[in-house]
Each structure stands twice: as C-alpha cells, then as structure tokens.
Structure 1
C-alpha cells in the first residue's frame, strides 16, 4: 500500500491527503511513466543528461496553473538548451495540447499523468481526494539527483518562481 501523508497541504483551507513519499534534496529522482500524447509515453530516462525543472499543476484549466505554466514558459527562453521544463498534470493530453495552442506555450513540454498516476505517486504529489497532482516544483540535475523541492502547503498558492529558476541556474 502506498504511503499516505496528511496534514501537509490544503485546498482552500481544507486538508488533503497526498499519496507517495516526500522527496528531499539529494534523493535520486524516481522514475515515472507519463503520456506525452495519446500514443507516446515517456519516462525520466527520456530526458537524460538535461537539467529538468518539473512544474506540477493540478489542471491547466485553472488560473494559478495557467499562470504557473506561462511563467515557466517565459523563463525557459533564458535557461539554455541544457535545461528542459516539464509541466505535469492529470489533464488529458488533448486538453494539454489545446491549452498550449491557445496560450502560445511552446517552450514547456506538457506531460499527462492521467493513465496510472505514476508521477504523482512516485513524487508524493497525488491528491487522494481528487486524483490530481498537487502543485509542486522539482529541479533534477543531469545525473537525476533532486536539487530543489517545493511542495505547496495550499493548492491555490503560487510556487516560488524565483527560487526554482535560481536552483536551475545554480546547476550550470
């Protein structure tokens, strides 16, 4: 049975249960399988050798998630070719593609955790009550070591964008 963590996050003040471990700086990034589109699945090894900023959002169709993904898309321009920004949500790949097209997001790779919730469980962000992934940020270096972690205490809050970007820049 997967580990459940309570008392660590809320949605509009109401407690939520997260499934999976709480990752720490220095941990080896867990592998995962997510959908890049309806026919293609990817895993951590597909981004080997890159610095990975993993931005996790519950759904791109909400205000904070929209703003978070747009912000990291803007930041991507100044981070270089050795950095890849992944946005993970439980949205269907169709919805992710539609949203990116409408939003003009072209530097972030959207990945869907809808099939097996593999990412959410491995990174400790699967919300038991909603079966969505909790807003969080992970920076993973070229050797798949976790170098930065931010689990949000409230689902509706913004992450610390500046700290995440600085964590990426510190690896260059």
Structure 2
C-alpha cells in the first residue's frame, strides 16, 4: 500500500509505503539490526513498554536532537525500552552513538530489509529513508501512541509525548 503526499520534506510531498497504523492496533513485529549487525525484534521486548523513535538520518541536526532527547529523557525509565530506528548503516550509528554518548536508547538500523519501515508505514518510497515518527507500544503489544510528523524536517511534539508517558 502506498500513501502519496502523506508527509513532506522541505515542502516536497512524499509517498509512504505500508499501512497507516493507529492507536489500538496490534504492533507488528519487525527485524532491524543493532550496531554489531545482530538482529533485534520488537518481540524481544515483549512485556515492556517500547518507545520507537523514528528518524530519517542521525546525521542531521533534528535527528541528532531527537535521539539525544530520547536517550536523556525517556530511555532508562523502569519497564520501558527506547528504540531509535533509521536507515543509517550500523557502522555510522555506532560512531554517532560513541561521540554523542548514547547509552540508554537502542540505536538501530532498518537499512537491510526495511522491515520496520514497511510494517509501520513510514518508509519513504522516493528516498528509501524513514519518515520522522514516534510510536509507543504498550506492554500488551498494542500501539498506544502514534505521531508521524507531517514535515520530516520538523521535531515531534515532545511535550505531548512526555505528557503521555507521564
């Protein structure tokens, strides 16, 4: 399924591949890779609340800020895991995390199969990047929060997210 004009980047309309997920939907499982190329699945975190922070590329100021904010303000909370997923190569993610001292959030890559991007409907067809988004999967495996940012160069609504997370 394709959703034309679902998001923009610098005002240019883009097509998202995959179905649009909504609050209450069962969270689809996916496989991404960590910085050591080891597969990581959502199902590995069953029974935990998982905040999924989605960034087009950590090598941009807005994405850099988003990952740092998730690492500092959300990751490490009791019973909660934070995944930051991008299409960046695992080697670039590893280098970024070392410099930025990302120790609490899991910075993961969807570059190989776009398993996450397609399952969550945030794969940008024209660029093979991921649209900026935040998903929260509750401990029961249901999606409890969704924000797909309409303009990829804008920040998510952190105030709303933090209020939701309590």
Report the TM-score when normalising by structure 1: 0.93
Aligned: 1:51 with 2:49:
yes
Aligned: 1:128 with 2:125:
yes
Match of 2:140 among 143, 146, 158: 143
SS of equivalent residue, structure 1 residue 26: coil
- Give the C-alpha shift of residue 44 in structure 1: 1.1
2: distance between equivalents of 1:136 and 1:80?
Answer: 20
The alignment of Structure 1 onto Structure 2 pairs a total of residues equal to: 166
1: distance between equivalents of 2:81 and 2:148?
Answer: 20
Runs of 4+ aligned structure 1 residues displaced above 4 Å come to none
Q: Any idea what the Cα deviations from partners look like across 1:137-167, whole Å, max 9, x if unmatched? A: 0011001100000011101000011222222
Q: Is the 8 A contact 1:139 1:167 kept in 2?
A: no
Q: Any idea what the Cα deviations from partners look like across 1:53-108, whole Å, max 9, x if unmatched? A: 1000011000100001111111036x622011100000111111100110111111
Aligned-pair RMSD on alpha carbons?
1.1
Q: Is the 8 A contact 2:37 2:90 kept in 1?
A: no
Alignment match, 2:21: 23
Runs of 5+ unmatched residues, structure 1? none
2: distance between equivalents of 1:133 and 1:23?
Answer: 15
Report the TM-score when normalising by structure 2: 0.96
Q: Is the 8 A contact 1:51 1:139 kept in 2?
A: yes
Within 5 Å, give how 1:22-171 maps onto structure 2: 22-76=20-74, 80-169=77-166
